[in-house]
Amino acid sequence: MYRFFVEENQIGEDRITITGKDVNHIRNVLRMSVGEKVLISNGMDREYVCSIDNILKDEVQVIIEDVNGPARELPVKVTLFQGLPKSDKMETVIQKMVELGAYEIVPVATKRCVVKLDAKKAEAKTKRWNLIAESAAKQSKRGIIPKVLQPVSFSRALEMANNMDMILIPYEEAENMDITRDIVSKIKKGMSVGIFIGPEGGFAPEEVLEAAEYGAKQITLGKRILRTETAGMTIMSVIMYLTEE
């Protein structure tokens, strides 16, 4: 079934009204018809199994047939702090991290980032990134649409992560897989976790030291050097495997 997201005020007692760009998608792209089943999410904690009742020019009305809880979301909230990569790699990172269950994604301007975004470019990029996150959330049948925030500095990212239960920073000079296994095994249901991933050139040594001051734990992802677009997915996959209910 196709999935669509709506605001809370669009949800009635026994029916939901779909508006905006999804109307055109349902009518002209998917060419759906009355009686077909769809999944509707309020973007927080409810998933509605519905059937299409009426397709109008500006809205689609569906009848609620069943209501599910937040069964598709991970029991931990993982925020990815991604060093800005070159070309369109950020789009790939967002798409795959949303599919794997990330709660939020924060682009980070680190010392070794090649990409430099002024305020206008950052705003345009962030708008596109959020559209990619929404599309990935629909495709993977997420209960929420993870947000992609505006790019921030490395120091600001650490401040944002300061109140999280655990901060992880994969680092090529970190050693001992047993220590990494022990750290990751401590991630439990209900925790918030921040993952810091460097850009193509990795983190500068002073950034790793600064992260340690905030309690970030260095971990290794193995003996191989992973690309920036692979590293976040790797640790996210491990967390999903360990915590998925």
Q: What is the pLDDT of residue 174?
A: 77
Q: How many residues does the chain have?
A: 245
Amino acid at 109: A
Q: What is the pLDDT of residue 148?
A: 97
Question: Max Cα separation, the chain?
Answer: 60
Q: What is the pLDDT of residue 101?
A: 93
What whole-number distance in Å separates Cα of residue 243 and Cα of residue 238?
Answer: 9
Q: 16: closest CA among 6, 1, 29, 25?
A: 6
Q: What is the pLDDT of residue 80?
A: 98
Rama region for 185: left / alpha / beta (φ>0; ψ in -120 to 50; rest):
alpha
Q: What is the pLDDT of residue 1?
A: 85
Helix (H, G, I), strand (E, B), or coil: what is residue 159?
helix
Q: Which residues of 37-58 are buried (b: 16+ CB within 10 A; e: fewer)?
A: ebbbbbeeeebbebebeebeee
CB 68 within 8 A of CB 45: no
Q: 151: closest CA among 107, 89, 93?
A: 107
Q: What is the pLDDT of residue 72?
A: 72
What whole-number distance in Å separates Cα of residue 135 and Cα of residue 82?
Answer: 20
| Domains along the chain with CATH numbers | 2-68 (2.40.240.20), 77-243 (3.40.1280.10)
Copy the structure tokens of residue 21.
């760009």
Copy the structure tokens of residue 163.
């109140």
What whole-number distance in Å separates Cα of residue 162 and Cα of residue 151?
Answer: 17
Collect all residues with Cβ–Cβ distance below 8 Å to 52 and sequence separation of at least 6: 26, 32, 33, 34, 35, 36, 37, 38, 60, 61, 62
How many C-beta atoms surround the C-beta of residue 202 within 10 A? 20
What whole-number distance in Å separates Cα of residue 15 and Cα of residue 20?
Answer: 17
Taking 70 as the pLDDT cut, the residues of the chain under it are 45, 69-71
What whole-number distance in Å separates Cα of residue 238 and Cα of residue 245?
Answer: 14
Q: What is the pLDDT of residue 45?
A: 66
Q: What is the pLDDT of residue 232?
A: 94
For 120, half-sphere exposure in the C-beta direction (CA atoms, 13 angstrom radius) is 0
Condensed to tens digits (0 to 9), the pLDDT of residues 193-207 reads 999 999 998 899 999
